[in-house]
Amino acid sequence: MRKRLRGVGVLMIGLFCLIENALAETTKGKIQSPTDAWNHTWTEVLWDLWIIGGVFAVVAVYLLIKYRAKSPDAVGTAVPLNLDKMLAWALVPLALFMADDFLLAAKGWTLWNIQRTVPENAMEVKVTGNQWFFEYEYENGVESEELVVPVGKPVVLRMTSNDVIHSFGLSDYRLKEDIIPGRITYMWFYPDKPHKSHVLCVEFCGTNHSQMYSEVRAIPQAEFDTWLAKQAE
Ligand SMILES: [Cu+2]
């Protein structure tokens, strides 16, 4: 009995790993930015929840039907668990959940490394948080009130604040990082296609916190070069 249960446990963990592998296979080579990594991990978390939720729902419905009271005065006959069964009921689900948790932890660690490792060819933009606006400064000294970036080039933001703690919420790119006075924090993203979005301050920073946002425009490189040259004039 104990052997068979152990077999079932191993089989289920194996199955789970296969599903995980298949999922990983579908995104191979496609993860090239923290945005992709976040999307990938989030999709996996959802799949995990659906699969585990589905299995539990099916088992629960099966048990509800199988052990339902067949007459109003029916009295159940519980079979006492022996040590084998007790261990199996505790350890098999534990192993399954832990396998899942370890896998997600590993994915999270990978994601974190992607997010914290700035590519060497990244373009740097300095970001300063103020009550209640963001300022951007480019490598050539150009200052701007909107964040304009070229498509196809990683961008690293080096951020600090002139007053209180703000937070740079780049929601379309799935990223967010605090902006702290006296400290330089950073984050990087990869605009892979032309896209217009917004960055919002996502840390309550005073009366006009809700007005603290600016446009983020990812435009083709040539267009960007023209824009930057024009700003420099
Ligand atoms: Cu703010």
Query: What domains, with CATH codes, occur in the chain?
Result: 2-69+80-116 (no CATH), 123-232 (2.60.40.420)
Distance 211 CA to ligand 1 centre (A): 9
Distance 198 CA to ligand 1 centre (A): 14
Distance CA 63, CA 102 (A): 29
State residue 183's pLDDT score: 97
Q: How many other CB atoms sit within 10 Å of the CB of residue 160?
A: 16
Return the structure tokens found at 180. 């702290």
Q: How many other CB atoms sit within 10 Å of the CB of residue 215?
A: 12
Residues shown for the chain: 233
Distance 205 CA to ligand 1 centre (A): 5
Are the beta carbons of 37 and 27 closer than 8 angstroms? no
Below-70 pLDDT ranges, the chain = 1-2, 4-6, 8-9, 12-13, 16-17, 19-20, 22-30
State residue 49's pLDDT score: 87
Burial class (CB in 10 A: 0-12, 13-18, 19+), 140: exposed
Are the beta carbons of 220 and 151 closer than 8 angstroms? yes
Cα angle 30, 100, 82; round to 5: 160
State residue 44's pLDDT score: 85
Q: What does pTM read for this prediction?
A: 0.77
Distance 130 CA to ligand 1 centre (A): 7
Distance 129 CA to ligand 1 centre (A): 7
Neighbour-count burial for 66-91, b at 16+ CB within 10 Å, e otherwise: eeeeeeeeeeeeeeeeeeeeeebeee
Distance 189 CA to ligand 1 centre (A): 20
DSSP character at residue 173: G
Give the tens place of pLDDT for each residue, 197-210: 999 999 999 999 99
Give the tens place of pLDDT for each residue, 16-58: 667 667 666 666 666 778 999 898 888 888 888 898 899 999 9
Distance 148 CA to ligand 1 centre (A): 20
Distance 169 CA to ligand 1 centre (A): 10
Residue with tokens 């703690």: 165
Distance 111 CA to ligand 1 centre (A): 26
State residue 19's pLDDT score: 67
Q: How many other CB atoms sit within 10 Å of the CB of residue 201?
A: 25
